[in-house]
Structure 1
């Protein structure tokens, strides 16, 4: 098992981070480090709370978690600091603002969603009750028909077939 220096690990992580966003497969070829090692390093960095997409995607294709991380990192920054942060990460201030607004709006319609869900639930319960009532009715009718057939067979066995006169 190869051991890599902290410097090469840090270099690889920097290349995975914005603005470079080099895909792990490409980075593996460039640096001569196994893909599994790079994936492991990326996982460790993410577990530590670092923003490391490393998937070769542009910022708009990042996962929600990565976008949310950027929003959290930039929440306390003023405009100048935000602009500097965005330049360092290869982002646009407008992207971060849009992501922030999306995070804020994520819970905006909770009451409306709960009301719609409640209405839908009531409607579903009503339909379930109707279907269960119809099923009970049909079960009773089926049981009655089965009883009549059994009685007819018993009557035929006792008295024989009915003769036509």
Structure 2
């Protein structure tokens, strides 16, 4: 299972790039899963639903299942946040796991960058960032792609990982 990340500051285009990359790469016949890091509390459940009631009652894990999908919710209950490496063990085997966030982890990454955010690039201090996807031309030692040229970015990622269709 290969891993490649998309990192960048808030509003840099990470999520849109991830979505387009999943479409592009699965369209080439590869199986893809994703991991998204959230810096805030989130909930995939809703108050009043049976599964929410189970969690509030104290269940450590609640598994929801239907004929369309299943989801496992795990309450940390004062445990430390799991590492990316630990979370990856929870996934089924696929050709590629695209990771949004986890910018400090050691896997290879592409940085999403939008000039309008006013943020400096992360890549100059991070050797794990292999390329930049930007909405403006940049003079950089690392390859720079148009943020909206999903095909070229996907070509780069797959080549960097040694995957070919």
Higher radius of gyration, 1 or 2: 1
Relative to the length of structure 2, the TM-score reads 0.20
Which structure's relative contact order is higher, taking Cα pairs within 8 Å and 6+ residues apart? 2
Taking structure 1 as the reference length, the TM-score comes to: 0.20
More strand by share: 2
